[in-house]
Amino acid sequence: MIAIDMETIKPIGEFGSRAWCDSCASYGVKILEAADLPEDLNWGFSELYTYPPDRLISEDWPQSGYHFMVVDGLVSGGASVPQTCLDQEGFHAKIRWAYICNQSATKYGSAGQRKRSEQEGVLLSQLADFLGFTPEMGGVPNAVWPAPIVKALSVGVEEGAGLHNIAASLQSPSPEFVGLPTTDMGVPDFSSMTDKQRSEFLDLCGLQE
């Protein structure tokens, strides 16, 4: 296991930016390399963010996301989501950038994770009530979390460490969420938005023409 000094981690870029994705992947690789993993364990982690702001992507980096994985004993990762990683059992998220961006900067332990998930469920219900249908925001199909992986990625999570809190510490604010109503976990509060804010948020999510 590796002990990461959380005090040394500073914001490096917006959620979904190339710099942020590259740094998240790098920490994921370091954690798995230091973990005591079974030799026959093949596993992948990836997150792909759809409808990111144009400023976060470019011609030479057209997709926002990152991955890390262990395959045949070799740990690798980077600011990309290759098919090789997607082919592995594991955790593979594909989700709208605006739906999870702001709250991803909130640090928490297991109770906070549950609270965030509950509030994201409320946001989805609010969107469904407003739109008249339940929008597909993305998700994680058939996640597989082997015990050695969970142990490695969650070291110190209740004390403010662990993969999520590392990623949250690396994240700098995105201007779209300045002044936007949010919950205590940072989840956008659609019901409290003005008409203008609602329209802008729907645009940001890619939910209206």
Does the residue 81 lie in any domain? yes
Could you tell me the two tokens for 63? 């997709």
Q: Range of 79's domain?
A: 6-109+136-174
Does the residue 202 lie in any domain? no
Give the dihedral sign, CA 3/174/62/123: positive
Does the residue 80 lie in any domain? yes
Does the residue 205 lie in any domain? no
Residue 154 pLDDT greater than 90, yes or no: no
Please say whether the beta carbons of 18 and 160 come within 8 A. no
Q: How many Å apart are CA 141 and CA 175, to the nearest integer?
A: 30
pLDDT tens digit sequence for 67-94: 999 999 999 999 999 999 999 999 999 9
The pLDDT of residue 162? 87
Residue type, 64: S
Give the dihedral sign, CA 152/98/50/133: positive
Counting the structural domains of the chain, the total is 1
The pLDDT of residue 18? 98
Does the residue 84 lie in any domain? yes
Does the residue 182 lie in any domain? no
Assign residue 164 the CATH number of its domain: 3.30.1050
Beta bridge partners of 76: 69
> What is the distance in angstroms between the CA of the first residue and the CA of the last residue of the chain?
48
Mean pLDDT across 53-77: 97
Does the residue 197 lie in any domain? no
Q: How many Å apart are CA 19 and CA 152, to the nearest integer?
A: 23
pLDDT tens digit sequence for 118-153: 999 999 999 999 999 999 999 999 999 999 999 999
Does the residue 77 lie in any domain? yes
